[in-house]
Amino acid sequence: SQQGEEDPQALSIQEGENATMNCSYKTSINNLQWYRQNSGRGLVHLILIRSNEREKHSGRLRVTLDTSKKSSSLLITASRAADTASYFCATEYNQGGKLIFGQGTELSVKP
Amino acid sequence: DAGVTQSPTHLIKTRGQQVTLRCSPKSGHDTVSWYQQALGQGPQFIFQYYEEEERQRGNFPDRFSGHQFPNYSSELNVNALLLGDSALYLCASSLNGKEEQYFGPGTRLTVT
């Protein structure tokens, strides 16, 4: 079974708009990571946030983590058509251990 | 510096057959994890290898087995294939104890 649930399952926006994806999980974690997947190929690591962190930024990405609510959000600002992909959150209990993925959000950015 | 590589890219097998998938980790990495991703789902952890030993295992039957070689490369073997084994199989490598895992492009297995 999968750890997390992602919301929404699908998101369609126009270029230039912001995209927000949410992830919830069930038990305590060491860290939470976000990945991107294009067309069912390999996963690309986007950003990692540790359980003692609340917010991280990387370029146009902003991730928040609320351990009291067991939830995280990924914000992509000023989206581009090239951002069209599936986005997955993954939780890790033990550093370097297995990742437990959510079911993903399919993002479509229209030019 | 080569990233994680997997072979083959695509594979078609018949029910009941056996399959071996291969993974070469990113240079400098010593830990390999395997994931199964069914269509429309997130990846599910199969197992992780470190120092040629299976260190962690997910909820997969014994038909799924693996191996890690001294050069850290790894194989995933699946016996008695079922239609439900059709999926994208992803390999990820990391440095022991480090959080970030690097994924390969995957092997798409179709069982007919």
How many beta-carbon contacts under 8 Å exist across A and B? 71
Show Cβ contacts of residue A77 under 8 Å, excluding neighbours closer than 6 positions. Answer: A18, A60, A61, A62
The answer to whether A51 touches A72, Cβ cutoff 8 Å, is no
State pLDDT tens for residues B83-96: 999 999 999 999 98
The answer to whether B43 contacts A43, with C-beta atoms less than 8 Å apart, is yes
In chain B, the N- to C-terminal Cα span, in Å, equals 37
The answer to whether A36 touches A43, Cβ cutoff 8 Å, is yes
The answer to whether B106 touches A41, Cβ cutoff 8 Å, is yes
* Residue B59 clears pLDDT 70, i.e. is over it: yes
Show Cβ contacts of residue B78 under 8 Å, excluding neighbours closer than 6 positions. Answer: B18, B19, B21, B63, B64, B65, B85, B109
pLDDT mean across residues, chain B: 95
- Min Cα distance B32 → chain A (Å) is 10
By C-alpha distance, which of B36, B42, B26, B39 is closest to B74? B26
State pLDDT tens for residues A48-99: 999 999 999 999 999 999 999 999 999 999 999 999 999 999 999 877 789 9
